[in-house]
Amino acid sequence: MAYFLQQLINGLTLGAVYGLIAIGYTMVYGIIGMINFAHGEIYMIGAFICMIAFAVLGFMGIASVPMALLVVLLLAIILTAAYGWTVERIAYRPLRGSFRLAPLISAIGMSIFLQNYVQLLQGARVKAMEPVISGGFVLMRDGSFQVTLSYLQLMIMSVTVVLMAGFTTVIHRTPLGRAQRACEQDQKMAALSGIDVDRTISLTFVLGAGLAAVAGVMNTLYYGVIDFFIGFLVGLKAFTAAVLGGIGSLPGAMLGGLMIGLIEAFWAAYFDAAYKDVAAFSVLVLVLIFRPSGLLGRPKVEKV
Amino acid sequence: MKFSRLALASVLSAVLLAACGKDDGDTIIIATGAPITGEYAAFGEQMKSGAEQAVKDINAAGGVLGKKLKLEIADDQCDPKQAVAVANQLVNKKVKFVAGHFCSGSSIPASDVYNAENILMISPASTNPKFTERGLAGVFRVCGRDDQQGEVAGNFIADKFKGARVAVVHDKQAYSKGLADETLKQLGKRGVAVALTDTVTPKEKDYSALVTKLKAANIDILFYGGYHSEAGLIIRQMREQGLKTRLIGGDALVTQEFWTITGPLGEGTLMTFSPDPRKNPIAAPVVQKLQAAGKSAEGYTLYTYGAVQVFVEAVKRVGAVDVAKLRDLLKKEKFQTVLGEVSFDSKGDVKAPGYVFYEWKNGKYDYTAM
């Protein structure tokens, strides 16, 4: 039981981060029907900004951890969002209205560009950071086995829950959310009824990048090691999560992320860890066979 | 018409070939294949600075047979596919000698290319037994083998940690699996029961599931076959979950970057590596020069330097860059290098002093006092 609980905590932490990134994929897909392959790299940039910001703060001698954390988080969100906006402006907007594959190829190009950009600027070496927040609670004891929940794991999970709640409110209760839903249904009609479609799409990218930045900061704090390549693997997992949950669906992305995280943790816990990715992708295949639009996705109704 | 086109093509290709073969008048091109980018770039940097320093010193002393050495650096990213690609590039560049590669998974496929193209290869770092076991004539190494390393590691665990609960984990790459298997074999011979064996996926960040498994199995000693970046993360995540398990690894932990990742949490980590060449008096001038240039002589830096020295020494004795003669000579004679006196057996393995145990303490690695 204690073992199960500990693995549950591991899986939820992992899944929360996947979920945060998956939302970026799913929002963009929902609104313009395109997979933003550069999203994993946006997350990587968020992680790098976090590490640079911590280094600068340390240099300036700001010692208060909550203060530093807040500053770093804000900086990362703002700068990464700027990257997200720029990527959309440069690589996707000029291609809007051209054939469907064009922005997809452009996204892959952007992903390669961003990877190399960071590699050239920051070097190919692994960057590491000493733990900023350590320690945690002991939830339960079973013999000598202690179930621990570190402050960071708790922080990752609670930040994810808060952001999820915030986003659901934004989508369902605010004018921006209404505009997003309108664009999702029919861009031309939305434009006719006075919605600035370009602005709405830009804001969607900015929001997605902001979430990826939060995920980047969390991961940097939690694992303490980053390099220019981290966006690829995490991006792939998050994309899988978005598809599993039903691409285009916000709660679906979160659910998909949690499921991938939990499958990985539990497979590694009870079977050979070497095959945990096989397990995660097999579940994806099974789900797609029986529910082609994902767990919470709505099948697209062809309009006549 | 068809015939004349063929004739034109053959004339053109003859011209091209002639143009290619025109260089190496006063230079001998050598290369080092190493992970310059990617997860294990720290080791690529060691090999790069070792090879560069060697070439610089040898050219400053007048070169070889009146010719200057020219160094090519090839980035294999520790990826077997990439290694074959860069090996072929080096063939096109008319390289005569390769001091590389680093990862066994890269060296083994690349060695097939070099051997077929008559290029001499001395790896400073690839320890997987298979590297020299396949009967390739021009393949050598100046480092030890994982069956030696695993034996030393297995005996050490059996002697120093009697009654400890041991786990053996590796990351499935050629080097890692080889080392873990050899250690397991030796532990078996010594009658040490291994409580847990598992594998991980390299280049990932999250090893918390493995750590919980170790915690549940009450593991005291984790023998890890793999590289420093994953080992560092596993240590961090063990401490995060309150585990005091001691990690024991192999020679892929000998980089300062390991400590950059773990910080003080890495204290007490043990690893096997050949006797530290930095402590050889003969290596002192080279170590000083490297330090003056702001570089470190850690890990495999001096091994790469030594590999280049062996090649140069052999060329001087043969009197020509004739790979067939060089490889015969290498198996017979002794060479003075920064590593001390180096000689090879008939397989191409170095007759070396073997492996000793090191411990990470206060951000440095040194012989363990255990």
Residue B59: give its domain's CATH number.
3.40.50.2300
Q: Considering the entire predicted model, what is its pTM?
A: 0.88
- Do B68 and B172 sit in the same domain of this protein? no
- Do B193 and B138 sit in the same domain of this protein? no
The answer on pLDDT for B299 being more than 80 is: yes
In a domain, residue B182? The reply is yes
Per the CB < 8 A criterion, the answer to whether A231 and A211 are in contact is no
In a domain, residue B196? The reply is yes
Q: Count Cβ–Cβ pairs < 8 Å, chain A vs chain B.
A: 106
Exposure string of B281-310, with b = 16+ CB inside 10 Å and e = fewer, is eebeebbeebeeeebbbbbbbbbbbbbbbb
The whole domain housing B51 covers 5-144+279-342
Question: pLDDT tens, B329-364?
Answer: 999 999 999 999 999 999 999 987 789 999 999 999
The answer on pLDDT for B188 being more than 70 is: yes
In a domain, residue B73? The reply is yes
In a domain, residue B222? The reply is yes
Specify the number of domains making up chain B. Answer: 2
- Do B105 and B188 sit in the same domain of this protein? no
In a domain, residue B363? The reply is no
SS3 for B204-249 is CCCCHHHHHHHHHCCCCEEEEECCHHHHHHHHHHHHHCCCCCEEEE
> Taking a contact as any Cβ pair under 8 Å apart, which residues of chain B between 318 and 337 contact chain A?
none
The band of B12, judged by pLDDT with boundaries at 50, 70 and 90, is: low
- Do B176 and B137 sit in the same domain of this protein? no
Question: Is B10 touching A (CB cutoff 8 A)?
Answer: no
Residue scoring higher pLDDT (B10 or B86): B86
- Do B207 and B333 sit in the same domain of this protein? no
Selecting from A6, A225, A276 the residue whose C-beta is nearest the C-beta of B212 gives A6
- Do B126 and B255 sit in the same domain of this protein? no
The answer on pLDDT for B10 being more than 70 is: no
Mean pLDDT computed over A3-9: 95
Tell me the shortest Cα–Cα distance from A130 to chain B, in angstroms. 6
Per the CB < 8 A criterion, the answer to whether A290 and A53 are in contact is no
DSSP-assigned letter for residue A91: I
Question: pLDDT tens, B77-117?
Answer: 999 999 999 999 999 999 999 998 999 999 999 999 999 99
- This complex has an ipTM of 0.89
> Which H/E stretch holds residue A221?
helix A197-223
Beta carbons of A233 and B199 less than 8 Å apart: no
Task: Tell me the angle at which helices B80-92 and B104-116 cross, rounded to the nearest 10 degrees.
Answer: 30
- Do B12 and B137 sit in the same domain of this protein? yes
- Do B13 and B133 sit in the same domain of this protein? yes
Q: What is the pLDDT of residue B21?
A: 44
Tell me the shortest Cα–Cα distance from B215 to chain A, in angstroms. 7
- Do B46 and B64 sit in the same domain of this protein? yes
- Chain A CB contacts of B237 under 8 Å are 223
In a domain, residue B355? The reply is no
Beta carbons of B209 and A273 less than 8 Å apart: yes
Task: Tell me the angle at which helices A230-245 and A101-122 cross, rounded to the nearest 10 degrees.
Answer: 150
Chain B interface, mutation test: which of A6, A151, A153, most B Cβ atoms within 10 Å?
A: A6
- Do B107 and B189 sit in the same domain of this protein? no
Question: Is A270 touching B (CB cutoff 8 A)?
Answer: no
- Do B56 and B29 sit in the same domain of this protein? yes
- Do B217 and B151 sit in the same domain of this protein? yes
- Chain B CB contacts of A118 under 8 Å are none
> Which H/E stretch holds residue B272?
strand B270-273
- Residue where one domain finishes, among candidates B221, B246, B273: B273
The answer on pLDDT for B212 being more than 50 is: yes
